[in-house]
Structure 1
Amino acid sequence: MNTVSLPADLPVVQAGDPASRTALVLHGGGGPQTVAPLVGHLAAFMHAVAPTHPGWDGTPRPGSITSVADLAAGYLARLLDHGERDVVLVGSSIGGWIALEMAARAAHDERYAGLIGAVIDIDGVGAVVEGEPAADFFALDARGLAEAAWHDPERGYRDPALLTDEQRAVQQANGRTMAVVAGRSMSDPTLLGRLGAVDVAALVVWGESDRIVTPAYGRAVADAVPGARFIEIRGAGHLPHLEAPDATWAAIDPFLSRS
């Protein structure tokens, strides 16, 4: 297994009691603000740790980080260095892919025994599911992205004309980083076949209106992880914790209480 070092000054939001169980919250392509509600909710009973992935929101991306596998290796190494145990991985979109990659890698490496305790994948990309291709994110304009990602597209639509120059620059830089790290297809053809090695409790949460990756895609991912549970969230798209937070918490909290 390769070892990747994340930047020492990587921005990390921490909330909740540091003595509590750690939840590593991993954001998707939209950046760290898209998982802020998850951090706030989990902080009530866990130690929520939410890093900004290298290359997002103006952070530097080392040349050694060119894939989701690199990010997964870097986060595993950092958790190990910090002496963590029984960590809950909570990932949204690309963050869900990172979380699953971390869990699959940890299952094959005795260095990480006991490091990961559970994984929650929220509308994660990354797998190749026959008959259920991910939307071509990079071909979507702002309107198309809102229609694919949100149950209520008007709520998710951001008029590009209203963005400041700074916001536009960040958005474009995030897109370039995502293209490098996730690739045009936002998938790894080996991932689905490797999920059978995951040996921790797993929950797959999916918005019923997600058209980036469909609920059928999500079910296939859940089916590939031994013992994983799949829960569909009504009235939500690709980011159910933003569109239907109460229903999302109702799915997540019982799982965490048992895991």
Structure 2
Amino acid sequence: MGVLTLDDHRTGLLSRGASGPPVVLLHSLGSDKRMWEPVLDRLASGRRVFAYDLRGHGEAAAAPHPQRLTDLARDLFGVLDALQLETAHIVGLSYGGGIAQTAAVEAPERFASLALLATTDRPFPEVFEQRAAAVETGGMEAQVEESIARWFTPEAVAAEAAGVRFAREGVRAMDPAAWAAAWRAMKQLDVRGKLGAFTAPALVVAGGADLAGSADVLRQLADGIPGGQFVELPGVPHLQTLERPELVADALDGFLPRG
């Protein structure tokens, strides 16, 4: 655990692994860096792995709100600079995947590879605005169970699995204004067709039980990246690492190089 100082805020950092290629992990909206803990040990075998809190989340909760995804892309570059990394293997899940794609369009030379999990390359402006506005009228607590039902399988929710409990507390702890700002930043995402010149290796991972994302969208995303690989994990919901970490670790471990 550590702290990084970026341009306009400080953020928390998890790191694992002593040597090997660097891997940087970007978490989902409403979560924090700890959502990667179930896969960290596996990924850190022969690699140096870092997970940080996106602005508005975790230890970066007090950061200025993002106005657009490019603000969060610049944060990623700031993290790479603070860690003295010219390039890294970047992995983003959901919101983190939108940020990673935005950064890959802006500065592909900073990417040794790109892995995108349970994300999208296009905006759904009405849906995302509805989620932003809902917290402004109904408060944070009203967003908890609706989000949990969208992110996990019914079986995990009924069993009150550890990942469900973690995600529920993550949403409950968020500042409503930060939640709304994140959804409105995501509303501006549109990188369709913009990764056609991205030449580093790329992996796109869909969950077969993902109620929040379309496997067809992710398959098209992979098809639009030269050499992009597409994998669909059966029975895996949106917050992949919190319900089926072993399958996510298998997919990433087979894609990311070791030292």
Q: Distance in 2 between matches of 1:142 and 1:170?
A: 6
Aligned residues: percent identity? 22
> What amino acid is the match of 2:148?
A
**Where does residue 104 of structure 2 map in the other structure?**
103
> What amino acid is the match of 2:195?
L
Q: Distance in 2 between matches of 1:183 and 1:134?
A: 7
Structure 2 unaligned regions, length at least 5: 1-5, 135-141
Measured against aligned partners, the alpha-carbon deviations of 1:98-154 in whole angstroms (never above 9, x if no partner) come to 1111212113xxxxx3x310011111245248xxx7796555843332332223354
Question: Do residues 119 (structure 1) and 122 (structure 2) align?
Answer: no
Q: By how many angstroms is 1:176 displaced?
A: 3.0
The answer (yes or no) to whether the contact 2:8–2:64 under 8 Å persists in 1 is no
Q: Distance in 2 between matches of 1:64 and 1:142?
A: 21
After TM superposition, the score normalised by the length of structure 2 is: 0.77
Structure 1 unaligned regions, length at least 5: 108-112
Question: Do residues 13 (structure 1) and 14 (structure 2) align?
Answer: yes
After TM superposition, the score normalised by the length of structure 1 is: 0.77
**Where does residue 171 of structure 1 map in the other structure?**
173
**Where does residue 184 of structure 2 map in the other structure?**
183
Q: Distance in 2 between matches of 1:105 and 1:85?
A: 15
CA RMSD of aligned residues (A): 3.3
**What is the 5 A alignment of 1:196-235?**
196-235=196-235
> What amino acid is the match of 1:226?
P
Q: By how many angstroms is 1:86 displaced?
A: 3.8
Secondary structure at 1:91 match in 2: strand
Relative to structure 1, is the Cα distance of residues 60 and 239 closer, same or farther in structure 2, using a 3 angstrom cutoff? closer
Q: By how many angstroms is 1:170 displaced?
A: 5.4
> What amino acid is the match of 1:28?
S
> What amino acid is the match of 1:49?
F
> What amino acid is the match of 1:21?
P
Q: Distance in 2 between matches of 1:135 and 1:206?
A: 24
Q: Distance in 1 between matches of 2:98 and 2:158?
A: 22
Relative to structure 1, is the Cα distance of residues 20 and 78 closer, same or farther in structure 2, using a 3 angstrom cutoff? same
The answer (yes or no) to whether the contact 2:55–2:64 under 8 Å persists in 1 is no
**Equivalenced residues, count:** 238
Higher relative contact order (CA 8 A, sep 6+): 2
Measured against aligned partners, the alpha-carbon deviations of 1:32-76 in whole angstroms (never above 9, x if no partner) come to 222222323212221111111122125355447422211112221
The answer (yes or no) to whether the contact 2:128–2:184 under 8 Å persists in 1 is no
Relative to structure 1, is the Cα distance of residues 181 and 172 closer, same or farther in structure 2, using a 3 angstrom cutoff? closer
